[in-house]
Structure 1
C-alpha cells in the first residue's frame, strides 16, 4: 500500500512553497489510492513559533487536505532517536566529535573524520557523528531521473545529534518514515541534497530505501526560496481558493474554467483524478507569478 506524508516544521505558518509540497504529496498519495500522513517536525525549538503547529493543521483543513490517522509530533519521539544513537555508539558505528564548523570550513568544507578514531567521551559538549559505511553517490528521482551526489558529501561522516543536544533532521526523518511505513517521500527540490544521506541511513539500518519525488521549488521575485526564514507571507486561510488554484497551476495542471469555478473539495477531487508526475515542470526552480484571473 502506498503511504505518503507531509512533514512541515512549525517555524511559522504555511506559505505558498509549503502549499506546493502539501498538495504534491497529497495528490501523489491519493492518486495511488494510498494514505497521506501528517507529521509535525518539531525537533528544533529555537526555530519554532508558538502556536504554529496548530495553525498548520488548521490551514490544511481550510484547504480541504484531510490527513489519515493521527498527527505525529517528533518532539514526542526523542527516546526512539536516542535509543538508536546509543546502539550505534555501543557498536562503534557512531562517535563523539568536537570539531567546530570553523575548523571544518578551514579544512575544505567537508568533515574529514578528524575525531573518528579518538574515542572521545561525551563529558564535554560534543556532536555525534555516524561512520559512513554505506555511501550513496546517486539515486533515482521519480521526476528528474538519476541524480548524482558529490563523493566528498556522500562519504562524509554526518551529524546525527548536534552539539547543543538537538537531534539531527536526517536521523529523525528516516526513523520516523520507517516507523510510519512511508513508501515514498514527495517534497521540495531544496531537499534533494540530503536524500543521499537518508538513503544511506536506510541501508545502515538494514531497511530497503523508499522512493523520492522532488517538486519544483517556489522562488520569490528575487530568486530566493519561499521560506519562513525569508519571510514568505502566510497563505490565506479565510480565502484559500486563489492560492490553491495558483499552486495547482504551478504543479502543471491545466485547469478548465468550470473546474476553477468549483468549490474546494471539487477542485481537490479533480486534482487527485488528473494528477500525473509527467505534468510537473522539468525545472527544479520556478518563480510563481500570482495572476489576477477571476475566481
Structure 2
C-alpha cells in the first residue's frame, strides 16, 4: 500500500462494543495509522427505533480506553439529513431509484434469499403496485455480474439477481444504510474501507451508488469475522455478544484481536494499550490476515477456537 490511508470505524449505538467489533475497530485503526494516515469515528445512529443514546458515549469511552483514538469530531448520521436528501434528489433526477410500496410481508412471501437477505423481485420497477401507500425508494441495480476487488478476500463477484434492488430510503423517511454510508465515506474523504467480511456483499451496492453519484471509489479490505459458538452466524449484539470491558483488562482483548488478524503475538504482554499499540504499529502487516478465517467463541474449555470458513 502506498500513500496515507484515511479510514473510519462506524458502529451503530445499539449496544456496547463486543470482541467482534473490537476486531474491526483495531484492524481499520492499524491500517490507517500504520501509514501515518487518519482514522475517523462515525456513529451510525440513523434508526431511531434501534439507537440507544447512552451507547454513543459508551462506545467512545471503550475506544479511548483501548487506545483507539480518532481524528476530528465524531460524525453522527442523525445530523446528516440534508446531505442524504441532496443525494436522493440526484438519484431521482437520473432515474436511478424508483418508488416501492411493497410491504415486508409481501416481499418475504416466497422470496429467494441472497447474501443480503430476502431478494426483492422488482415488483414495483414499472410503477408502484399500491400508489395509495407510502413508498420507499429502491436503487435500480444494473443487471449482470458485479465484482469487488478486495485486498484480503480477493475478487468477490455476484450476479445482480442475487442482490436485488435495495432500499435507499424507507417508507418512514429514514435514509437507508447503503446510501448514508456511501455519502458519509465520501464526506470524510475515506480512501480505504476496512471492516468485517459480512459486509462484503454490501460493497456491491455502495460501489454502484458511488458510480451513480460520481463519488470517489475507496479501496476495500474486508476482515474475517468472529462467529457464534455453533459457527453458524456472525457474533453480534443480536446473537448475544458480550461487551468487552477495558476497565477490567484493556490489553488482553487487543492482543487477542491482533492475533486473530494473523499477526505475531508480542513476546511479552504489554502493560497498557498505548504500550501495545506502539509495539504493534510498526509490525502491522495486512498481508498476514488470513482470508475467510473465523474465530469461534466457546471452544474447548470455553475459550476460542479457529476454523476455516
TM-score over 0.5 for the alignment? yes
Q: How far apart are residue 290 of structure 1 and its match?
A: 4.8
Which residue number in structure 2 is paired with residue 268 of structure 1? 277
Which residue number in structure 1 is paired with residue 251 of structure 2? 241
Which residue number in structure 1 is paired with residue 300 of structure 2? none
Secondary structure in structure 1 of the residue aligned to 2:149: strand
Greater CA drift, 5-14 or 111-120? 111-120
Among 260, 284, 294, the alignment partner of 1:250 is 260
Alpha-carbon distance between aligned partners in 2 of 1:97 and 1:138, rounded to the nearest angstrom: 26
Alpha-carbon distance between aligned partners in 2 of 1:119 and 1:264, rounded to the nearest angstrom: 54
Q: How far apart are residue 189 of structure 1 and its match?
A: 1.0
- The yes-or-no answer on 1:31 pairing with 2:34 is yes
Which residue number in structure 2 is paired with residue 94 of structure 1? 97
Which residue number in structure 2 is paired with residue 8 of structure 1? 11
Which residue number in structure 1 is paired with residue 83 of structure 2? 80
Which residue number in structure 2 is paired with residue 184 of structure 1? 192
Among 48, 72, 91, the alignment partner of 1:69 is 72
Q: How far apart are residue 153 of structure 1 and its match?
A: 3.0
Alpha-carbon distance between aligned partners in 1 of 2:129 and 2:184, rounded to the nearest angstrom: 29
Among 169, 175, 181, the alignment partner of 1:167 is 175
Q: How far apart are residue 96 of structure 1 and its match?
A: 1.1
Among 115, 121, 125, the alignment partner of 1:112 is 121
Cα RMSD, aligned residues only: 2.1
Structure 2 spans left out of the alignment, 5+ residues: 113-118, 298-302
**Could you report, residue by residue, the CA deviation over 1:79-114 in whole angstroms, capped at 9, with x for unpaired residues?**
211222123224433221112233334464332332
Among 193, 198, 201, the alignment partner of 1:193 is 201
Among 221, 229, 239, the alignment partner of 1:213 is 221
Matched-pair contact (CA < 8 Å) for 2:228–2:239:
no
Matched-pair contact (CA < 8 Å) for 1:95–1:120:
no
Question: What TM-score, normalized by structure 2, do the two folds share?
Answer: 0.87
Secondary structure in structure 1 of the residue aligned to 2:201: coil
Structure 1 spans left out of the alignment, 5+ residues: none
- The yes-or-no answer on 1:58 pairing with 2:67 is no
Aligned residues: 289
Question: What TM-score, normalized by structure 1, do the two folds share?
Answer: 0.91
